[in-house]
Amino acid sequence: EARYDKGLEKSRHTFGERLNHLLANFRSVDEDFFDELEETLIGADVGYDMAMQISDQLREEVKLQNVKKSKDVKNVVVQKLIELYDAAGADEHTGLKMAEQGPTVILFVGVNGVGKTTTIGKMANRFKQEGQKVLLAAADTFRAGAIQQLNVWAERDGVDIVKKPEQSDPSAVVFDALKKAKAENYDILFVDTAGRLQNKANLMNELAKMKRVITREVPDAPHEVLLVLDATTGQNALNQAKLFKDTTDVSGIVLTKLDGTARGGIVLAIRNELHLPVKYVGLGEQVDDLRPFVPSEFIYGLFK
């Protein structure tokens, strides 16, 4: 529960508080109420379709349960949000898929600046704390400074890193890292990649080549391809996600910078429109500001 205490203040402020306010001043569940509810939901970036679904279902529920008290309406809203989130996707577990044997390989994709490197740094720390032997591959050889930035995280986390000079072939970095991971019995390998969306064909080729290299070395890998999205970019993040989904087999989302936006509802929109599970959320720049995403806790966190 306490895990979303920090980082959701902004979303709570516009979304939770606005809804709380709406409910506190509520007299009857009439059309005005639903109008305002829809506006609040859209304002929090849950997406138009999702807002309408919630509103429609709430109408039904209010009738069915003959809800009169505002406290009960709130419970129904929260319950509906959780149900709709769950219904929008398959029955997935929130954690990462791990290798049955040999190293687990996790590929991170996403455009520059969304927080890929930072997320890897935070995640490496988390797994190291859990007693896993962690290796990083600095395969973003394109963005100036990316290798050095990942190296800083490796040192801070006390984990190993495989790197080559800037502009090296990213697949060569991945190849070396896989060899090392297997030979030295690493539990998990995190691969940072470059996010060049300007050239979709290039990006697609590069990721495809990387995946071929990975699968040749570790047949059931990559175990996850995590797309990192910046929550503060709102609908733009959704568009990026669609592009990456077309480009490679994304298995899950890491949604960063939720602390910097009031639009926490984007989590629901991602679920609804992309049918991809959000696996982790970033709630700040510090090492422990990455949390596994637990839908019900997150939604309750919005209304605290």
Which range, of 36-44, 95-103, 115-123, 238-246, touches ligand GDP by CB under 6 A?
115-123
253 forms bridges with which residues in the sheet?
Answer: 227, 278
Does residue 157 belong to the site contacting ligand GDP (CB under 6 A)? Answer: no
Nearer to ligand GDP (CB atom), residue 16 or residue 115: 115
Does residue 112 belong to the site contacting ligand GDP (CB under 6 A)? Answer: yes
Long-range contacts of 60-63 (CB under 8 A, 24+ apart): 62/29
Residue 189: exposure state from Cβ atoms within 10 A (0-12, 13-18, ≥19): buried
Residue 86: exposure state from Cβ atoms within 10 A (0-12, 13-18, ≥19): middle
137 forms bridges with which residues in the sheet?
Answer: 162, 191
Nearer to ligand GDP (CB atom), residue 102 or residue 260: 260
- Taking CB under 6 A as the criterion, the residue among 113, 208, 215, 288 binding ligand GDP is 113
Does residue 240 belong to the site contacting ligand GDP (CB under 6 A)? Answer: no
* Amino acid letter, 167: Q
Does residue 136 belong to the site contacting ligand GDP (CB under 6 A)? Answer: no
- Residue 145 to residue 128: CA distance in whole angstroms: 24
- Taking CB under 6 A as the criterion, the residue among 12, 74, 80, 116 binding ligand GDP is 116
- Taking CB under 6 A as the criterion, the residue among 282, 299, 301, 302 binding ligand GDP is 282
Does residue 284 belong to the site contacting ligand GDP (CB under 6 A)? Answer: yes
Does residue 261 belong to the site contacting ligand GDP (CB under 6 A)? Answer: no
Instruction: Flag whether 144 is marked binding.
Output: no
Read off the DSSP letter of residue 283.
-
